[in-house]
Amino acid sequence: MRVTSKGQVTIPRSVRQRLGIFPQSEVEFVVEGNTVILRTVTSEASRGKKLIETMRGRATVRMTTDEIMALTRGEG
């Protein structure tokens, strides 16, 4: 497998399937001596971040932060 001029490599399909790597999946590289380990990032923060990114800009009602907080507190 060769590294492109942009530093990219193609992860073989069998490896992606085994690790559950899909488009937009987050992975990390861990260097141990002369070995590089590729693993998926499974932290809850990553899942939450993806959810927020998906929802961003989809609101249909324009409200200020104060209005939203008052609504969640049951005020007014």
Q: What is the 3-state secondary structure (H, E, C) of the chain?
A: CCCCCCCCCCCCHHHHHHHCCCCCCCEEEEEECCEEEEEECCCHHHHHHHHHHHHCCCCCCCCCHHHHHHHHHCCC
pTM of the model: 0.48
Over residues 15-61, the pLDDT tens digits come to 999 888 888 888 889 999 999 999 888 766 666 777 788 888 888 88
pLDDT in tens, 59-68: 888 888 899 8
